[in-house]
Amino acid sequence: MIDRDGIERPDNPSEHMLTIKNTNRKVKFDENYSFRPRNIFQRMWLRFFRRLAITVFHVHWDFAQSVKLRNKKNLMGLRKKGFVIVVNHVNLFDDVSVCSTIFHWRMVYFTTLEQNIRRPMIGFYLRSLGGIPIPVSSVSGMRKFESDVSELLKKGIPVIYNPETALWPYYREIRPFKRGAFSMAVKSDVPILPITITFKRKKKRNGKFKYKMFLNIGTLIERDKNLSDKEASEKLMNDTHEYMSKVAKEFYESEKCGFDDEKDKKQGK
């Protein structure tokens, strides 16, 4: 399909636009795999590497990407709480930008495709930044994954999910969600923190666009205690999708973002 910005997208909203190459690193994501670092040396390395990376990424976000935060006040009172962070997947570094720009030195983990961890060097860097592979190819691995992530959340450590699954760069609408993030929130008895990524763009002299990224920080969305776990996760997913869709819609309708449909609005089309 062709979206409203003239970009060709897959017909399936969960289908990836980018091909993940060189996934030949041998890693077995089963019940013996540590989805979270357990020994002291792993944790020390993780903290050291993450602080180093955040220092570098801050320069990149501030000058190259021009990342801006909106509604920072919604972070008040969240310092020692565990919650599942839900982010629309529209930038190659969206999870890292959330970690480095919003949470700074606080330890935050993010889920990623197991293929990404199988990539030489890139997989190592992702793990060192706090990446947790989702083991879709192993039933025993999935049980261990859920147990490890739930343990992190219960200890007050946030975990990021991209429930749209696939990366669609600079897509302005919120695609359908998968239920995994919301089932995990219900299972671990923690709320959802929605962060909606939106963009403004400016055309450069070479005809390409430069994008400014906005991280719209939402308010916590709690589960309905009167519903069963399955019903509660379904409602939590729908409520979060509705909230983020509203945030994205209001942003693009109220701001001058440099997209072509803004010209159509002015012309009454």
pLDDT tens digits, one per residue of 204-221:
878 788 888 999 999 999
Task: State the pTM of this model.
Answer: 0.91
pLDDT of residue 264 exceeding 70 = no
pLDDT in tens, 110-166: 999 999 999 988 888 888 888 999 998 899 999 999 999 999 999 999 999 999 999
Q: Between 3.30.70, 2.60.40, 3.40.1130, 2.170.120, what CATH number should domain 40-266 receive? A: 3.40.1130
What does the pLDDT read at residue 59? 65
Model confidence at 243, pLDDT cuts 50, 70, 90, reads: very high
The identity of residue 169, as a single letter, is: P
Interatomic CA distance for residues 153 and 188, integer angstroms: 7
Angle, to 10 degrees, between the axis of helix 180-188 and the axis of helix 139-154?
A: 50
Query: Between residues 116 and 104, which one has the greater pLDDT?
Result: 116
The whole-number pLDDT of residue 196 equals: 98
Question: Is residue 131 classed as helix, strand or coil in its secondary structure?
Answer: strand
Contact (CB, 8 A) for 2 and 8: yes
Average pLDDT over residues 32-45: 82
> Which pLDDT does position 63 carry in this prediction?
60
